[in-house]
Protein backbone atom coordinates (compact mmCIF):
# COMPACT_ATOMS: atom_id res chain seq x y z
CA UNK A 1 0.00 0.00 0.00
CA UNK A 2 1.33 3.47 -0.80
CA UNK A 3 2.40 5.70 2.05
CA UNK A 4 0.14 8.47 0.73
CA UNK A 5 -3.14 8.48 -1.13
CA UNK A 6 -4.35 11.78 -2.60
CA UNK A 7 -7.71 12.48 -4.22
CA UNK A 8 -10.05 15.37 -4.91
CA UNK A 9 -12.89 15.33 -2.38
CA UNK A 10 -14.45 18.25 -4.25
CA UNK A 11 -12.69 18.74 -7.61
CA UNK A 12 -10.48 21.86 -7.68
CA UNK A 13 -11.54 22.86 -4.14
CA UNK A 14 -10.85 20.20 -1.49
CA UNK A 15 -8.13 17.54 -1.49
CA UNK A 16 -7.89 14.55 0.80
CA UNK A 17 -4.49 13.15 1.71
CA UNK A 18 -4.30 9.90 3.64
CA UNK A 19 -1.03 8.94 5.31
CA UNK A 20 -0.36 5.25 5.92
CA UNK A 21 2.57 3.72 7.77
CA UNK A 22 5.81 5.61 8.26
CA UNK A 23 6.67 8.04 5.44
CA UNK A 24 10.25 8.90 4.63
CA UNK A 25 11.30 12.52 4.10
CA UNK A 26 11.60 11.79 0.37
CA UNK A 27 8.02 10.47 0.32
CA UNK A 28 6.81 13.51 2.25
CA UNK A 29 8.54 15.80 -0.26
CA UNK A 30 7.21 13.87 -3.28
CA UNK A 31 3.67 13.97 -1.91
CA UNK A 32 3.87 17.66 -1.02
CA UNK A 33 5.19 18.49 -4.49
CA UNK A 34 2.28 16.58 -6.04
CA UNK A 35 -0.22 18.44 -3.82
CA UNK A 36 1.47 21.72 -4.77
CA UNK A 37 1.04 20.88 -8.48
CA UNK A 38 -2.65 20.03 -8.00
CA UNK A 39 -3.22 23.27 -6.13
CA UNK A 40 -1.44 25.34 -8.77
CA UNK A 41 -3.45 23.70 -11.58
CA UNK A 42 -6.76 24.24 -9.76
CA UNK A 43 -9.13 26.90 -11.06
CA UNK A 44 -10.18 27.74 -7.48
CA UNK A 45 -8.63 30.67 -5.64
CA UNK A 46 -8.11 28.48 -2.55
CA UNK A 47 -7.65 24.74 -2.14
CA UNK A 48 -8.39 23.17 1.23
CA UNK A 49 -6.70 19.95 2.33
CA UNK A 50 -8.08 17.28 4.64
CA UNK A 51 -5.20 15.16 5.96
CA UNK A 52 -6.15 11.80 7.46
CA UNK A 53 -3.23 10.75 9.63
CA UNK A 54 -5.08 8.16 11.68
CA UNK A 55 -3.10 5.36 10.00
CA UNK A 56 0.26 7.03 10.62
CA UNK A 57 2.48 4.54 12.42
CA UNK A 58 5.56 6.57 13.22
CA UNK A 59 6.80 10.11 12.82
CA UNK A 60 10.36 10.98 13.80
CA UNK A 61 11.34 14.16 11.98
CA UNK A 62 12.29 17.59 13.21
CA UNK A 63 10.48 20.77 12.22
CA UNK A 64 13.25 22.07 9.94
CA UNK A 65 13.26 18.87 7.86
CA UNK A 66 9.48 18.87 7.56
CA UNK A 67 9.32 22.53 6.52
CA UNK A 68 11.87 21.88 3.77
CA UNK A 69 10.01 18.76 2.65
CA UNK A 70 6.63 20.48 2.18
CA UNK A 71 6.66 23.05 -0.63
CA UNK A 72 2.85 23.09 -0.85
CA UNK A 73 2.72 25.02 2.44
CA UNK A 74 4.05 28.08 0.59
CA UNK A 75 1.48 27.89 -2.22
CA UNK A 76 -0.66 31.04 -2.33
CA UNK A 77 -3.75 28.89 -3.00
CA UNK A 78 -3.46 26.97 0.26
CA UNK A 79 -6.70 27.39 2.18
CA UNK A 80 -7.46 25.48 5.36
CA UNK A 81 -5.56 22.33 6.29
CA UNK A 82 -7.72 20.10 8.44
CA UNK A 83 -5.82 17.28 10.13
CA UNK A 84 -7.69 14.25 11.37
CA UNK A 85 -5.48 13.69 14.40
CA UNK A 86 -3.54 10.55 15.14
CA UNK A 87 -2.35 9.68 18.60
CA UNK A 88 1.22 10.76 17.83
CA UNK A 89 2.21 13.64 20.08
CA UNK A 90 5.37 14.38 18.07
CA UNK A 91 3.42 14.48 14.80
CA UNK A 92 0.88 16.88 16.30
CA UNK A 93 3.57 19.17 17.70
CA UNK A 94 5.62 19.25 14.49
CA UNK A 95 2.52 19.69 12.33
CA UNK A 96 1.26 22.61 14.41
CA UNK A 97 4.64 24.30 14.46
CA UNK A 98 5.23 23.77 10.73
CA UNK A 99 1.94 25.47 9.90
CA UNK A 100 2.69 28.33 12.30
CA UNK A 101 6.05 28.92 10.63
CA UNK A 102 4.38 29.09 7.23
CA UNK A 103 1.48 31.18 8.53
CA UNK A 104 -0.98 28.66 7.15
CA UNK A 105 -4.38 27.85 8.58
CA UNK A 106 -4.50 24.47 10.34
CA UNK A 107 -7.26 22.91 12.39
CA UNK A 108 -7.29 19.58 14.21
CA UNK A 109 -10.44 17.50 13.87
CA UNK A 110 -11.47 14.01 14.94
CA UNK A 111 -13.34 12.77 11.86
CA UNK A 112 -13.90 13.43 8.17
CA UNK A 113 -17.44 14.57 8.97
CA UNK A 114 -16.06 17.14 11.41
CA UNK A 115 -13.60 18.37 8.77
CA UNK A 116 -16.36 18.76 6.18
CA UNK A 117 -18.61 20.54 8.70
CA UNK A 118 -15.79 22.99 9.48
CA UNK A 119 -15.26 23.76 5.78
CA UNK A 120 -18.99 24.20 5.18
CA UNK A 121 -19.16 26.64 8.09
CA UNK A 122 -16.10 28.64 6.97
CA UNK A 123 -16.51 28.53 3.19
CA UNK A 124 -19.99 28.98 1.66
CA UNK A 125 -18.70 27.77 -1.71
CA UNK A 126 -17.88 24.36 -0.23
CA UNK A 127 -21.42 24.11 1.12
CA UNK A 128 -22.83 25.07 -2.27
CA UNK A 129 -20.66 22.55 -4.13
CA UNK A 130 -21.63 19.75 -1.71
CA UNK A 131 -25.32 20.63 -2.10
CA UNK A 132 -24.92 20.46 -5.88
CA UNK A 133 -23.45 16.97 -5.65
CA UNK A 134 -19.82 17.86 -6.43
**Domain range list for the chain:** 4-131
pLDDT of residue 9: 96
**If you average pLDDT over residues 13-32, what whole number do you get?**
91
Chain centroid to CA 109: 12
Predicted confidence (pLDDT) at residue 114 exceeds the cutoff of 80: yes
pLDDT tens-digit map of 65-85 = 877 888 888 899 999 999 897
Which of the four CATH numbers 2.60.40, 3.40.50, 1.10.287, 3.30.750 does domain 4-131 have?
3.30.750
Report, in this order, helix, strand and coil percent for the chain, each rounded to 5: 45, 30, 30
Point out the least confidently predicted range of 13-22, 93-102, 113-122: 93-102
Is the pTM above the cut of 0.95?
A: no
Beta strands, E only, 22-95? 47-56, 78-84
Backbone angles phi, psi at 53, to 5 degrees: -110, 20
Q: Is-contact 58 25, C-beta < 8 A?
A: no
Cβ neighbourhood burial of 43 (10 Å; 0-12, 13-18, 19+):
exposed
Predicted confidence (pLDDT) at residue 16 exceeds the cutoff of 70: yes
Amino acid sequence: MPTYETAWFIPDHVLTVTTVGTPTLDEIHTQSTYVDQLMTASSAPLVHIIVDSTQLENFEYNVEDIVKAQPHLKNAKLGWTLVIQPNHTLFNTVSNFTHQLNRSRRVSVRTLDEAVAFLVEHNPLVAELLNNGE
